[in-house]
Structure 1
Amino acid sequence: MNEPQQKWTETIEDKHSLFDLKLREVWNYKDLIYMFVKRDFVSSFKQTVLGPIWFFINPVLTTIVYLIVFGKIANLSTDGAPPLLFYLAGVTLWNYFAGALTGTSYTFAGNAGIFGKVYFPRLVTPISIVISNLMRFGVQMLLFIVVWIYYLSKGEVHPNWWVLATPFLILLMALFALGVGMIFSALTTKYKDLNMLLGFGVSLYMYATPVIYPTSALSGIFKKLAYYNPLTGVFECFKYAWIGVGDFSPMMLGISTIIILILLAIGTLVFNKVEKTFMDTV
């Protein structure tokens, strides 16, 4: 009597394209992504007094410091926009990018224990980090909108239809953080001191990005270099859309999109290559 032929539900293969994101496999593990997002959210405020209120406190305090230091003391231009709203817009966007990038860069080093015990698409982890930071961004964006409505009622801001591009701008920041984060997560499996360099680099990068100043305040070579900063188009478009100020052009956003997609491709290549052997070096 012939035995029924077995059908395998999962096939683990050793060889795959370096540019293969395995998106279908990642989708099959969407419940795991949800669990990781929930874990990150809960662990962030476990054993804290104020809990999720820190989502609001962080951007408020940071904005106040920028308002005093860069607005009052340094007297930096805000292109005529209300300084409080201008800095809050920059802080809201920057907090999301910096948090997503830093968290993604620890993908291999921070999850080596899990990766060594059970198989699942490694891309699940950085994606969950990007999404969990997106939840924090949503709360801080709500704070920005409340302040924005106040100034809108006073006629001090002039939004336009580019507001509709906001989801695309958020996607660009997420892809940029994902791409660069995957590069650093791969490199730190072998060179652990890059984690310290990344923290320092992120702080410096903020000053190379129009977070606390508009690009109209730049001139010469600095302004030309700013156009090739992937975040310049994102930040300028956001401020132009919601506040009605800034030196924004569609070409600027197009340059940002192209550079971000290139970095995402490089990050995918490096990540897929390292994930096969990272347990030997982490």
Structure 2
Amino acid sequence: MQEESWTEVIQPRTRLLDLGLADVWRYRDLVMLFVRRDFVSTYKQTVLGPIWFFIQPLLTTITYYIIFGRVANLSTDALPPLVFYISGVTIWNYFAQTLTATSTVFRDNAAMFGKVYFPRLTMPLSIVISNLVRFAIQFGLFLLIWLYYVVQTDAIHPNWLIALTPALIAIMGLMSLGLGMIFSALTTKYRDLAMLLTFGVQLLMYATPVIYPLSSITNPKYKLIILANPMSSIVETFRYAFLGSGTFSWAALAYSAVITLAVLLAGIIIFNRVQKSFTDTV
């Protein structure tokens, strides 16, 4: 009797660190379809559509300028407040939006996961990529404002560390992916964590030098707490590279990279454990 020839054999993964990247590569077209779906579902039936990519960071920057710049009179390291705040908003938004969206990937797509097979990792990866496109658009807006101040004032002093921008983006993307996979796995059983995470991300922004420079923290104890946040060195390096003001440390950047790898490793292990049986608990 002739043996049947199968084009796909679905087997349980036995190794914790086996992400099945070869399968993800074979399903790369599906990843791009998910990316397109994210854009369509987000801005379908909206009047302004993708223009919200520009409106959101602009409104946030103006709000920070009024509240923290004018009312609270927080320091901006002698930098023009508008470019100072939008630099922090641009880099922070990518991390926060990616983490929040990735953290509910199991819960939001439970029906699809239960009906058809595809590598589960394609879903969180598509979120990282789709938010990267959003970041690229908002980064373009930041560059326009940045170029204006570079030409019109002497307060901006960019340097060669701008070349580290791709590495900073990669660290943020991997950090949000790792944390997102951890929380996505946990929210299959504990739905409250999704709301707690949204609140936690907002609080974390205040523990990151987004609306204030690290140099304004004079208390050594509080400064140590801020530096313990791996996102702090990312934001400070980004701002130092483009604006020439702030702090930069290779040690702090290496610390962020190590923490990111540890979080990503933990996310991979937890993700692989939960994906085998999450449909029974969602």
State the TM-score, normalized to the length of structure 2: 0.97
Query: Could you tell me which of 26, 37, 40 is aligned with 1:39?
Result: 37
Secondary structure of the 2:115 match is coil
CA distance, structure 1, for counterparts of residue 245 and residue 59 of structure 2: 24
Alignment size in residue pairs: 280
Deviations 1:144-192, CA, capped at 9 Å, x for gaps:
0000000111232101111001011011110011000101000000001
In the alignment, the residues of structure 1 paired with residue 117 and residue 189 of structure 2 have an alpha-carbon distance, to the nearest angstrom, of 21
Paired with 2:229 and 2:17, the residues of 1 have a C-alpha distance of 24
Counterpart AA for 1:37: V
Q: How does 1:1-282 map to 2 (within 5 A)?
A: 3=2, 6-154=4-152, 155-218=154-217, 219-282=219-282
Residues 226 and 232 in structure 2, CA contact (< 8 A), matched pair in contact too: yes
| Post-superposition offset of 1:16 | 2.5
Report deviation, 1:229. Answer: 0.7
- 1:65-99 CA-to-partner distances (Å, cap 9, x unmatched) read 10011111111111111111010011111111111
Question: Aligned partner of 2:237: which letter?
Answer: C
Q: How far, CA to CA, are the matches of 1:145 and 1:46 in structure 2?
A: 28
Q: Distance in 2 between the 1:14 and 1:149 partners?
A: 52
Q: Give percent identity, aligned residues only.
A: 57
TM-score if structure 1 supplies the norm length?
Answer: 0.97
Residue type at the aligned position of 1:67: Y
Q: Extract unaligned runs of 5+ from structure 2.
A: none
- For structure 1, the 5+ residue unaligned runs are none
| Partner-residue secondary structure (3-state), 1:135 | helix
Read off the aligned partner of 1:201 and give its amino acid letter: G
Deviation at 1:9? 2.8
Cα drift, residue 233 of structure 1 = 1.1
Q: Which moved more, 1:111-120 or 1:18-27?
A: 18-27
RMSD: 1.1
Contact residue 233 and residue 256 of structure 2 kept, 8 A: yes
1:51-76, CA deviations, whole angstroms, 9 ceiling, x for partnerless residues? Answer: 11110000001000100111111111
- Taking the aligned partners of 1:23 and 1:221, their CA distance within structure 2 comes to 42
Deviation of the 1:20 alpha carbon:
1.4
CA distance in structure 2 between the aligned counterparts of 1:189 and 1:253, rounded to whole angstroms: 33
Deviations 1:95-128 (A, max 9, x none): 1111100100011000000000011111100000
> Per-residue CA shift, 1:202-234, capped at 9, x if unaligned?
110110111101111113111112222110111
State how far apart, in whole Å, the 2-side matches of 1:131 and 1:56 are.
18
Q: Deviations over 1:255-282 (max 9, x none)?
A: 1110111001001111110000101110
Give the AA of the match of 1:38: R
One-letter amino acid of the counterpart of residue 234, structure 1? I
